[in-house]
Amino acid sequence: MEKVFFKTFGCSNNFAESEIMKGLVKQNFAVTSSIEAADIVVLNLCTVKGDDASLSAIKKVKAEHPYKQLIIAGCIPTHLLKKIRELDSECGIINTHNIDQINSVIEEVINNHPIELVTHNQLVKLNFPRVRKNKIIAIIPISNSCIGKCSYCSVRPIKGTFYSFPEETILKEVKDAVESGCKEIWITSQDCGCYGIDINTNLAKLLEKIVDIEGEFYVRVGMVNPNNITSYLDELVKVFEHKKIFKFLHIPIQSGSNQVLQEMNRQYTVEDFRKIINSFRKVIPNISIATDVIVGFPTENDVHFQETCALIKGLKPDVINISKFRKRPNTPAFKLQSIDTKIVQNRSREMTRIFDWVGLDVNRKWKLKETTAIIDEEGKEGTLIARNIFYKQIIVPTADFKIGDKVKVKIKSFTQHYLVA
């Protein structure tokens, strides 16, 4: 029986799709956690931030394991197919819309007939067999693609038409996950905020039904874009108060300049963003805020960048994901003149320095406080990692507990990125 190894890159949605593919593959083949032991390597790629990292990952596997058969999966834009074939003419290719056909692709590769399944099928990626990355975490996608038209983004060309997954199918997936022992339910999508726009519902209504499911579990809500939650903001804030929902909001700003936001075609303003944050903090004062920032957008000047710096200093987010602008083919921003790379590097370093200060200031308030948390993964050097209701990462320096345990801890120290119990 052939052994198959999976290597996954990118967002939680990609990890969910790898779990599904592993569950399907396990029915016909053996799934191994060792690339050395594998006959076939599946690379589940993410190309949203550029092609280079994905192509480098393929080259690395080809160099280190030249006799392994490869299958390239994930978010694969059509312009990348030729480059993939130049690296490996015998690999199988399967995009995000065809993951239910992974066994067919493997069989064809084994029989020296590599195929490409890259059509845009409307597949509801729920209620499939799974091999979970973490036994207590269920990663549950709720929709496909997004409704945005950001000038720099390749999600829609890759993911295709937006559609919400049926509510009853999502609820069944959550119920089954809880019954199987999952303690954390990660609701994920390219943009959870636009869930339901095509089926006359919204994210808040879905969450209300999820928290009604029996069992002890916590829900982590995935990224929401500001413009897609304003119409039901009060409903969303209210449901976030529920004891089963992590007080954690991932809401990207991307730029602190309204002019740049307009040129990015983000469809909201800095004032809209502030209103949302203030609405949540008014009801849940200590809610953890994660945001995303793109530095070096082609039209961003020094004044625009300083506006973003000022926003981050004032907002004081718990988490910030900093990305340097990268041109994506077939997007409007691809045609814009790029900023000098040294300027982009300097802006990225400056934003990182700002967050180093902000993160320390935010986490300082936790020192010497006691908090209840759930152990949800193994850390380094024998430590464990826990999350409290605010989804703060807490390093627990002992192996006396096991994954899934609920523990009471006291915070003794902190960094800008995590707390230490």
- Does residue 384 sit within a domain? yes
Residue 221: Cβ within 10 Å count: 25
Residue with tokens 């200060």: 357
**334 & 235 share domain:** yes
- Does residue 383 sit within a domain? yes
- Does residue 259 sit within a domain? yes
Residue 386: Cβ within 10 Å count: 26
Condensed to tens digits (0 to 9), the pLDDT of residues 266-315 reads 999 999 999 999 999 999 999 999 999 999 999 999 999 999 999 999 99
343 is written with which tokens? Answer: 């300027």
400 has a pLDDT exceeding 90 = no
- CATH code, domain with 207: 3.80.30.20
**314 & 170 share domain:** yes
Helix (H, G, I), strand (E, B) or coil at 254: strand
399 has a pLDDT exceeding 80 = no
Condensed to tens digits (0 to 9), the pLDDT of residues 107-161 reads 999 999 999 999 999 999 999 999 999 999 999 999 999 999 999 998 888 898 9
- 303-339: b or e for each residue (b if 16 or more CB lie within 10 Å)? ebbebbbebbeebebbbbebbbbbebeebebeebeeb
50 has a pLDDT exceeding 90 = no
Residue with tokens 């409007």: 332
Query: How many domains is the chain partitioned into structurally?
Result: 3
Which backbone phi and psi does 270 adopt, to 5 degrees?
-60, -35
Closest CA to 62 of 80, 77, 84, 81: 84
Mean pLDDT of the 315-331 span:
94
- Does residue 124 sit within a domain? no
| pLDDT at position 156 | 86
- Does residue 143 sit within a domain? yes
Mean pLDDT of the 394-399 span:
88
- Does residue 125 sit within a domain? no
Long-range contacts of 84-88 (CB under 8 A, 24+ apart): 84/55, 84/58, 87/55, 87/58, 87/59, 87/62, 88/58, 88/62
3 has a pLDDT exceeding 80 = yes
**255 & 353 share domain:** yes
12 is written with which tokens? Answer: 């939680």
Closest CA to 121 of 142, 140, 95, 147: 95
**Separation CA 88–CA 63 (nearest Å):** 11
Residue type, 255: S
**Separation CA 82–CA 87 (nearest Å):** 9
Mean pLDDT of the 375-398 span:
95
**52 & 170 share domain:** no
**376 & 331 share domain:** no
**Separation CA 35–CA 73 (nearest Å):** 16
CB 419 within 8 A of CB 362: no
**149 & 113 share domain:** no
218 is written with which tokens? Answer: 């916590």
* Interacting residues of 127 by C-beta distance below 8 A, sequence separation 6+: 169, 172, 173, 176
34 is written with which tokens? Answer: 């060792």
CB 240 within 8 A of CB 384: no
Which backbone phi and psi does 205 adopt, to 5 degrees?
-65, -40
Model pTM? 0.95
| pLDDT at position 1 | 87
Closest CA to 18 of 190, 164, 106, 139: 139
Mean pLDDT of the 78-97 span:
95
- CATH code, domain with 49: 3.40.50.2300
Condensed to tens digits (0 to 9), the pLDDT of residues 53-66 reads 999 999 999 999 99
% of the chain surpassing 90 pLDDT: 93
| pLDDT at position 305 | 98
Structural domain of residue 411, as residue ranges? Answer: 370-420
| pLDDT at position 150 | 96
CB 141 within 8 A of CB 188: yes
Of 83, 117, 151, the position where a domain reaches its end is: 117
**193 & 307 share domain:** yes
- Does residue 127 sit within a domain? no
Which backbone phi and psi does 18 adopt, to 5 degrees?
-65, -40
409 has a pLDDT exceeding 90 = yes
Q: What average pLDDT is seen over the chain? A: 96
255 is written with which tokens? Answer: 């730029």
**182 & 331 share domain:** yes
Q: Order across the sheet with 248-250: list the strands.
A: 248-250, 288-295, 319-324
**pLDDT classification of 354: cutoffs 50, 70, 90:** very high
- Does residue 122 sit within a domain? no
**108 & 46 share domain:** yes
227 has a pLDDT exceeding 90 = yes
49 has a pLDDT exceeding 80 = no
| pLDDT at position 28 | 96
**184 & 229 share domain:** yes
Residue with tokens 């790629």: 45
Mean pLDDT of the 401-418 span:
96
Of 348, 364, 380, the position where a domain reaches its end is: 364
CB 351 within 8 A of CB 308: yes
**73 & 161 share domain:** no
Closest CA to 226 of 271, 181, 276, 192: 276
**71 & 34 share domain:** yes
| pLDDT at position 119 | 93
